Structure 1
Amino acid sequence: MGTFKIEGGHQLKGSIQPQGAKNEALQILCAVLLTPELVTINNIPDIVDVNKLIALLRKLGVKVEKLGKGSYSFQADEVNLKYLESDEFKIDGRGLRGSIMIVGPLLARFGKGYIPKPGGDKIGRRRLDTHFEGLIKLGAKFGYSKEEQFYGVEAKKLKGTYMLLEEASVTGTANILMAAVLAEGQTTIYNAACEPYLQQLCKMLNRMGAKISGVGSNMLIIDGVDSLGGTEHRMLPDMIEIGSWIGLAAMTKSELTITNVSWNDLGLIPETFRKLGITVERQGDDIHIPAHTDGYEIQSFIDGSILTISDAPWPGFTPDLLSIILVVATQARGSVLVHQKMFESRLFFVDKLIDMGAKIILCDPHRATVIGHDYKSTLKATTMTSPDIRAGVSLLIAALSAKGTSTIQNIEQIDRGYENIDERLRAIGAHIERVD
């Protein structure tokens, strides 16, 4: 198990470029299974979760070639469907939440798709119902082995239909969408997710020959086609990493420039951090955060009541950044209520911040009130364990602002979502060491 040792209390300075988007990569990589032709993808992040999916595609028989840093070609012209029924696949598939999105493409192209119950962050229930209910509506027969926790869908031919999703699941929408592009007739997906990464998937599929309209809205209309061709695609920068660096700059009173952020795809992220009193300046397609030497003050609502920041499906504020918001608020002037609506276990890392001296009241599994210190009392160094990707980075940001030397264990969780984070932080002045 790896460990980070962090000496906090140092100001950082310089520029940092966000990696390619993790959540987009997991969708886009699964889409290469929809065609036997060559697909080239650029700006792929070199992180554990993405590398696991690439390894899984290789075992499925996809020809994978690394062309350069972050650039790969994929050709799924000799897919090995027997691997899907192997014990090895049952182990490999469980290690990655994003593996669920191979089911839609495999079902559409080969008439069957299997997946073991996937793993991922332990942040509460993450149901798969939306995925399979959508595929069943397209004409698939569903099977589940309770003993092996193994799911399967089969269909001789998928047929387009109208469906209203129970929840605007991003991965669920992606899975159903990738199945529908090769279905017979027209499919309408209402209450579809419309995140920028899902829009990227739609644009890529359309370049491959799919007929998808309504891109960017919550109603997607797909006219099925017989086959798809090859294409080239470039990932967006990771908006969660961008938000993480905004929070890091504020907490450490550092002047940082975050480069090539694709501003138009950030939604409410800049404005939400501004509500915490953080200066977020746009410079072309970069974000500049000046050193907040005098701190930052949380806004209140117009009627004077305490500010509440909550998550919601896009274009609402992403749940992946609420843990960053919570940490940043610990040194603000004022108070904020953080309401995590979507996952019931994501706020349980706050006990570690309380151990560091933060003033946080955990109201229930979904809500926490943060009373900022305004830097009058710094966080204290401690030893802690990373419970999941986003909480792990939040604790890392807290440690970089704290007085003394902190230790974060189980950093494999952080590596799942952040590329070479220790090297990149050292490049802007952070005192962080990786110990295996």
Structure 2
Amino acid sequence: MATFLVEGGNPLKGTLNPQGAKNEALEVICATLLTNEDVIIENIPEISDVLQLMEIFKGLGVEVERLRKGVYRFNAGSVDVDYLKTELYAKQAASLRGSVMIIGPLLARFGQGFIPQPGGDKIGRRRIDTHFTGLQKLGASFLFDAQNHWYSVKASKLRGAYMLLDEASVTGTANIVMAAVLAEGVTTIYNAACEPYVQQLCKMLVSMGARISGIGSNLLSVEGVSSLKGCSHRILPDMIEVGSFIGLAAMTASEITIKDVGIEHLGIIPESFRRLGIKVEQQADDLVVKDTEHYEIENYIDGSIMTISDAPWPGLTPDLLSVFLVVATQAKGSVLIHQKMFESRLFFVDKLIDMGAQIILCDPHRATVIGLNREHVLRGTKMTSPDIRAGIALLIAALSAKGKSAIDNIDQIDRGYENIETRLNQIGAKITRI
């Protein structure tokens, strides 16, 4: 298990290029199972979660060829569904939550799919009922082996149906859409997730011959087709990494330019940072963060303390709340961070409190941050990364702190951020991997 040694307090300056979006990559790679033709995907982030999914695909018999950095060819012409019953597959899929999205494509094309209870971040309960309820409405039979923690679905034929999802699940919507594109008839999905990742998946499926309307809304209509063809697709810049870099610039009082961010797909992320007083300027498709020595949190118009909370798109993504919380520790003013969607994601704040931050953890979902306005600098300490997003937040805190920090379990950070220490060291950070 690797560790980051971080020497904090060094100003950063330069340009950062965001990687391809992790969440989109997992979805569109799963979609390659829907055709027996070549699919070329560009801007794939070569991070551990994505590479692990590719290993599962190789085990299934999918041809996975790296054409050049970030560009891969997939061909699912010869899929061995029996691989899903092997111990190796069980081990691989159980540690990767995104692997749940192979169920929809496999069910649509081969009439069956198996998945162990998925793993991933330890951020509280993350139910997957929406996935299987939707697939059942399309005509699949569902079985859960409680003793061995296995899920399975089977169907001789899928038929379109109307469904109102009980939650706007991103991966659930993706799974259902990928099953519906080869179902007989029309499928209507209301309360569908409409995040850019889902929009990109739908656009890719349309380029493969699928018929999907309502893309970008929470009401999708999918008219099933008999087969899909190959295509080429390019993944968007990762909005979570863009937000992480904005937070990094603010906490370290640095001037950083973030290139080619895909402004139109960032939603309210830049404006939410501006509400914390951070100057985020747009220059064409780049974002420039500067003059962050001091930044002041806004209050509501009646003078009350502002709340930063997550919500389904186009609300603020929950994956950035850990970063917002860290950034608020050095702001002027106070803010309530309300993490609605995951019940254990704020438990990393005890590490920040050890560093000198003034944070009150109200309950598993809410934390009040009293900004230090840089009057008291965070101090270096020893920490452990509990999940991807808390991990990057702790790294940002360590880079702003006085003294040295050690962050254990950085494999979690590697799951979502490609060569992060190399890229940050190039603009002045001092991070050593051991």
Q: What interval of TM-score do these two structures reach, taking the shorter chain for normalisation?
A: over 0.9
Match of residue 284 from structure 1: 284
Partner of 1:220: 220
User: 2: CA distance between counterparts of 1:362 and 1:202?
Assistant: 39
Where do 1:242-321 residues align within 5 Å?
242-293=242-293, 295-321=294-320
CA contact (8 A) 1:21 1:237 kept: yes
Q: Distance in 2 between matches of 1:305 and 1:82?
A: 59
In the alignment, residue 181 of structure 1 is paired with which amino acid? Answer: V
How many correspondences in the alignment? 434
Give distance in 2, aligned partners of 1:86 and 1:343.
32
1:434 corresponds to: 433
Confirm or deny that 1:232 pairs with 2:235.
no
The range that moved more, 295-304 or 80-89, is: 80-89
1:93 equivalent in alignment to 2:93: yes
Q: 1:128-175: per-residue Cα shift (whole Å, max 9, x none)?
A: 100000000000000111111010000000000000000000000000
Determine the structure 1 residue equivalent to 2:54: 54
Structure 2 SS opposite 1:171: helix
CA deviations on 1:377-435 (whole Å, 9 max, x unpaired) are 00010000000000000000000000000000000000000000000000110011001
TM-score (norm 2): 1.00
- Does structure 2 retain, via aligned residues, the 8 Å contact 1:249–1:291? no
Distance 2:20 2:88 in 1: 29
What is the DSSP-based 3-state SS (H/G/I as helix, E as strand, rest coil) of the residue aligned with 1:189?
Answer: strand
Measured in 2, the distance between the counterparts of 1:324 and 1:91 equals 31
Counterpart of 1:396 in 2: which secondary structure? helix
Who is 1:77 aligned against? 77
Cα distance in 2 for partners of 1:33, 1:399 equals: 41
* Aligned equivalents of 1:409, 1:89: Cα separation in 2: 28
Letter in 2 for 1:410: N
Match of 2:325 in 1: 326
More displaced stretch, 87-96 vs 421-430:
87-96
Q: Partner of 1:396 in structure 2?
A: 395
Q: Give 2:410's aligned residue.
A: 411
Q: Is the 8 A contact 2:123 2:342 kept in 1?
A: yes
In the alignment, is residue 367 of structure 1 matched against residue 366 of structure 2?
Answer: yes
Q: Give unpaired runs (5+ residues) of structure 1.
A: none
Distance 2:82 2:266 in 1: 41
Q: Cα distance, 1:76 vs. partner?
A: 0.2
Q: CA deviation at 1:95?
A: 1.3
Q: Kindly state the Cα deviation for residue 89 of structure 1 after the two structures are TM-superposed.
A: 1.2
Matched, 1:22 2:38: no
> Which residue identity does 2:385 align to in structure 1?
S
Aligned partners of 1:117 and 1:149 also within 8 Å: yes
> Aligned equivalents of 1:286 and 1:16: distance in 2?
10
Q: Could you say what the CA RMSD is over the residues aligned between the two structures, in angstroms?
A: 0.4
Q: What is the Cα deviation at residue 38 of structure 1?
A: 0.3
Q: What code does the residue aligned with 2:295 have?
A: Y
Rounded Cα–Cα distance in structure 2 between residues aligned with 1:56 and 1:297: 47
Tell me the distance in 1 between the aligned counterparts of 2:93 and 2:298: 44
TM-score by length of 1: 0.99
What letter matches 1:20 in structure 2?
G
Q: Does the 8 Å contact 2:35/2:228 carry over to 1? A: yes
Deviates more, 1:37-46 or 1:82-91: 82-91
Residue type at the aligned position of 1:33: L
CA distance in 2, matches of 1:308, 1:277: 14
Matched to 1:221, the amino acid is S
Q: 1:205 — aligned with what? A: 205
State the shift of 1:291 in Å. 3.3
Distance in 2 of aligned mates of 1:62 and 1:214? 31
Match of 1:25, SS state, is helix
- For residue 91 of structure 1, report the CA deviation from its aligned partner: 1.0
Partner residue, 1:186: 186
For residue 416 of structure 1, what is the amino acid of its counterpart?
A: R
Partner of 1:136: 136
For structure 2, list consecutive stretches of 5 or more residues without a partner in the other structure.
none
Q: Which runs of 4+ in 1 moved over 3 A?
A: none
- Read off the aligned partner of 1:272 and give its amino acid letter: S
2:279·2:291 contact (CA, 8 Å) conserved in 1? Answer: no
1:107 corresponds to 2:107: yes
Q: Deviations over 1:251-295 (max 9, x none)?
A: 0000000000000000010000000000000000000011322x1
